[in-house]
Amino acid sequence: MRRGLSFFNVTALVFGFAFLYLPILLLMIYSFNESRLVTVWGGFSTRWYGELLRNEQLMAAAWVTLRVAFVTAIVATVLGTMAAIALTRYGRFRGRALFTGLVYAPMVMPEVITGLSLLLLFVAIDVGRGYWTIVIAHTTFSMCFVTVVVQSRLVTFDRALEEAALDLGAPPWKVFFTVTLPLIAPAILAGFLLAFTLSMDDLVIASFASGPGATTLPMRIYSQVRLGVTPEINAASTILIALVTVAVIVAALVTKRSVMRAERGG
């Protein structure tokens, strides 16, 4: 019985991972295809990466996407960390239920509803849509994910370390920056990377919040895919996958080093 169950689990995992990652692997392989036809292998070549660098529209969209994702990740990390501290450290306060609902609402709300709501807001206050409206929109829905990650770390945080620092005469602000912040830094970094990835990946909300001169890479790729997939899109997607993979590996190494350092200190 155990052998049959084990075989079933292994088979399910293999097919599950193949369903998820085989299309990505094929995309990466065909980004090195010599042929212009994306479904016909014509030999190994890196020509489409050169064509990508000469494609001004895709490069401009990629630059906008990176800037939006970086600014969004910074703002969402700061606001999400502050929200997590407020929900974890300040117990019950007036309006806590409303504040909690406002923080977590974008996580469960459909992206279409979020994008439409933000569009109506920008129109109502007569704000021209562009780079900063995309940043505001992405910060709105990515901040809640940072809050969840940092809050989960603060829930298991040993308050005795802070109390010991306070007993030794350190002011609260110094305790936060020298004791609390270094210990929750891995969670903050994970939240930053999550917000960065969500911003780079978003298409729906950016479509509502964008304007002339502020087209993100997912929007540009989607508009071109409707007319047919080109090898440059495969190359751009492969570069994005490589960037995200490197970021995840670096985050994992930093987190592991922080945990080992904490264990030595303990």
pLDDT exceeds cutoff 60 at 266: no
Distances in Å between the Cα of 232 and the Cα atoms of 21, 73, 161 are 20, 27, 53
Q: How confident is the model at residue 261 (pLDDT cuts 50, 70, 90)?
A: low
CB 196 within 8 A of CB 70: yes
Residue 257 pLDDT > 80, yes or no?
no
214 found inside a domain: yes
Looking at the 3D structure of the chain, how many domains does it have? 1
Residue 224 lies in a domain: yes
Is 158 within a domain? yes
Both tokens of 165, joined, read: 């620092």
Report residue 94 as tokens.
């007036």
- Confidence class of residue 1 from pLDDT cuts 50, 70 and 90? very low
Is residue 2 pLDDT above 70, yes or no?
A: no
pLDDT tens digits for 9-38? Answer: 888 888 888 888 888 888 888 888 888 777
Residues 264 and 261: their CA atoms lie apart, in Å, by 5
CB distance 218 to 202 below 8 Å: yes
Residues facing 33 on adjacent strands = 44
Amino acid at 220: R
Within a domain: 186: yes
Residue 107 belongs to what domain range? 57-265
Cα–Cα distance, 238 to 89 (Å, whole number): 42
What's the CATH code of the domain at 80?
1.10.3720.10
Q: What is the mean pLDDT of residues 168-179?
A: 84
Terminal CA-to-CA distance of the chain, rounded, Å?
44
217: Cβ contacts below 8 Å, ≥ 6 apart: 58, 61, 62, 64, 65, 200, 236, 240
How does pLDDT run across 96-109, given as a tens digit for each residue? Answer: 788 888 888 888 88
**In-domain check, residue 14:** no
Residue 88 has pLDDT above 70, yes or no: yes
The model's pLDDT over 221-256, given as tens digits with 9 standing for 90+, comes to 888 777 777 788 888 888 888 887 887 787 777 767
pLDDT tens figures, 66-82: 899 999 999 999 999 99
Q: Give the mean model confidence (pLDDT) for residues 125-153.
A: 89
Taking all residues of the chain, what is their mean pLDDT, rounded to a whole number?
83
Find tokens 């995992």 and name the residue: 13
Q: Give a yes or no: residue 50 inside a domain.
A: no
User: Cα 125 from chain centroid?
Assistant: 28
* pLDDT-above-70 percentage for the chain: 94
DSSP 69-133: HHHHHHHHHHHHHHHHHHHHHS-S-TTHHHHHHHHHHHHHS-HHHHHHHHHHHHHHTT---SHHH
Using CA atoms, how far apart are residues 194 and 183, in angstroms rounded to an integer?
19
> Residue 237 and residue 63: Cα distance in Å, rounded?
14
> In what helix (H) or strand (E) does residue 168 lie, and over which residues does it extend?
none
Q: What is the largest CA-CA distance in the chain?
A: 71
Interior/surface letters 189-208, b for 16+ CB within 10 angstroms, e for the rest: bbbbbbbbbbbbebebbbbb
> Is 47 part of any domain?
no
In a domain, 52, yes or no: no
